[in-house]
Amino acid sequence: MKGVTIWFTGFSGSGKTTIANSIKQKLAEESITVIVLDGDVVRQSLSRDLGYSKEERDRHITRVADVCKLITEQGGIVIACVISPTRKIREYARKATGNFIEVNVKCPLSVCEQRDPKDHYKRVRASQNTEDFVGITIPYEEPENPEVVVDTDKSTIEECTEKIITYLKNYLYEERHG
């Protein structure tokens, strides 16, 4: 069986990693293993040599997509939690991984700034962080045709989790039974 990459895209603080970990936990209860690749965590190892310029961001996302491809080809389920602000870079990930589910984790920037779990927005607004930042100095291109959309400012983590798991199970069933 071929695996699948679930690609979460959205602003920092939109809930990508929180939902991914919730999915991982729920599916573990059914003995289904899911690997979560959080963009910030991957940056600390696989991409620690990269900064935040557009070219470096794209290289980082390309690396995440390439790891997803390896896991997917081995039959694994992987969730990539990366802002991936451009349609072009998300299209690269889709083509690279093969079996691909794009999830638009929607949340207004103002809500993401209020949540700010890693203090990114606070540092950017205080000018302590001069790096370009998606949503503030770098535009975010909304996905045009994602397979799943979750509105994290209107839905609970549990509702978002269930919506994605339902889609995933239907997707995997179709893959197996054509």
Spatial CB neighbours of 148, under 8 Å, sequence gap ≥ 6 = 101, 102, 103, 104, 163, 164, 167
Question: Token pair 């390439």 is at which residue?
Answer: 66
Q: Which two tokens stand for residue 10?
A: 């959205």
User: How is 38-56 classified by DSSP, letter by letter?
Assistant: EHHHHHTTTTTT--SSHHH
Residue 165 falls in which region: left (phi positive, over 0), alpha (psi -120 to 50) or beta: alpha
Catalytic residue numbers read: 84
Helix (H) or strand (E) holding 57: helix 54-73
Neighbour-count burial of 8, counting CB atoms closer than 10 A to its CB (0-12 exposed, 13-18 middle, 19+ buried): buried
Residues in the chain, total: 178
